[in-house]
Structure 1
Amino acid sequence: MTDITAFAFGLPKAELHLHLEGTLEPELKFALAARNGIELAEKTVEEVKATYDFTDLTSFLAVYYPAMQVLQTAEDFHDLAWAYMQKAREQGVVHVEMFFDPQAHTSRGVPFEAVITGYRRAAVRASSELGVSAELILCFLRDFPAEDAMATLEAALPYKEWIIGVGLDSDERDNPPAKFADVFARAKSEGFLLTMHCDIDQTGSIDNIRAVIEDIGVDRIDHGTNIVEDPALIALAKERGLGFTTCPVSNSFVTSQMKSDEIVRLLRDGVRVMVNSDDPAYFGAYVADNYVALAEKAGLDAADLARLAINSFTASWLPHARRDEHIAAVRAYATSHDVALAD
């Protein structure tokens, strides 16, 4: 019998739903605070983790954003991303498309240039030193005005070769996709790929999913498992080959269940659903940990996990030849563990 944990960790995979600011481990938070002369309210790792008492998205964000004050310089952003990518490689990640939230930093006086150059240097380093390819996705904060998002997009244009796409995150309440339609239309015209968070079990979740597919025309959807409420939308998502970047462990923090039933239903229905870690420093689980948690909850076998990994590459924004190489590697890995996969 295949050891599902060992299989999950060794499985080559892409991570497509990862917030760099959500990888800020307490130990690094203390180190950056000391570097930048910032006094934290918490004095120990245990005290920091004691604040991670999340019951919904809003309570999570109330902890998430204040923690970012320790990120001040390009070196800080490099160190954050580099620490994540070392952990990701240990969990089988060979390609990652990482979210970053520039408005969370520029709004407190940190230059956009410091954010992007720090993250970019870590991405380049990951390729040369770890063999992990890394791309950046600029996310707009949906609880900021659309005008601020447009200004952020314009600030990003000089660095567009370093940014593969744009996304939308933060508090979804009263901030529907339509609010940012013009921003995303401009981003698309500039050559960026598009994704948007459709967080689980929000008011109007299914309407927001419908809007991002039919009106905005995204290339991928983050979370989005509420699509199971509308079979016609599932059919449309399959027709367009849309990926759904689900995050089981973080789901279990902000709802009563990790949405395993919905994730498995989409997987069995042939939707390009895959598993990611979201904000692993806060939810205590990196990507392979999420694979294991979902497998244990839903009774998935090694072949199911391999299918999720294949989906992570088919839904990625890699060139087709690179996708095919990674998918072949997944199949070879499965074969080496006597795991049979359907063609």
Structure 2
Amino acid sequence: MKNIYLAYFLIIILSACGGKSSDTASLSGEIKGLGNDTLYIYGADEMYDRMDTLLVENDKFSATLSPDTLVAAWLLFSDGSRYPFFMDKGNTIHVKGSAAELNSLEISGNTPNEELSAFQKELKGLGKPSEKVLEEKAGKFINEHHSSLVSIYLLDKYFVQKEKPDYTQIKKLTEHMTGELKDRPYIDELLDRIQEEEKAGIGKTTAYFRLPNAKGKQITRSNFKDQYLLIHFWASWDTVSRDSNAVYRKIYKKEQKNKKFALLGVSLDINKDNWQKAIETDTLKWEQTCDLSGWNTEFVKQLAIKALPANILLSPSGRIEGKNLSGAAIEKKLKDIEEQEKKEKERKRKR
């Protein structure tokens, strides 16, 4: 009888242990040359909204993690670099690689990890591929793996995280993704962003705006009647956009007597004193506006401005002629406008 009770007891213990392990993921690894260090793990989105600390001893590390479902996460290294991996309940994930090549680790333990490892191995065999080749490889993978979390990672890395993303191409790449992927927070937010971009794309008519200038006067589109209007989005707290003010000073100096062209600054500041000091320090002599709402400024949201500095060029009718133009592109646009005006005057003269 004692043996029977013992058997039952062991079954209960083993069942409890088995249940516990199925609710967690086991992660271990060896990255040669890493030595003794500290790594961090954090989720790629709110589906794994936490950060775990990993201690590395003699190149090796291990941890027990608790994902609720299949999630994407990042391994963050002390030098600031990071590498993606995927985990689910019951997974036994293993990482191996070299500290000299943290951008090409080999991770196993489930299908998406193995898919990404195979993809990285293929890229490594190409030597130093061009950006075009990388995009082709990533696009091919995405089109062939409609339900893989790796497709989301590659979409973000090679198509979204660019200075000027091609949202038409990005939208096309998401069209064949399964509903499971489209329900992921990243894709859901990305598609919303694309919809915003489409509403504020080149050729569209911009929304009406009404913003106060440094003296409190309300400035609207009607203040620039019959003019091409270049709107520069910046902020006193953003060093890059502060540096970009030099480009606009040059444009203003050259075009200030041009009755067909005007400049307008829209600041994303939330502190009035800082904004006004920056206007003075940077000698911004053209019209400046700010409603002190930062990224919540309605006009900024309507135009899908997501990063600073940014600009848009409006025609006299309010049509968006260009977005995020470089200094050279702005000059070319202004020359084109000047040529159009000359042709129009010539046409009217011949009537």
If the length of structure 2 is used for normalisation, what is the TM-score? 0.25
Higher strand share: 2
Structure possessing the higher radius of gyration over alpha carbons: 2
If the length of structure 1 is used for normalisation, what is the TM-score? 0.26
Higher relative contact order (CA 8 A, sep 6+): 1
Higher helix share: 1
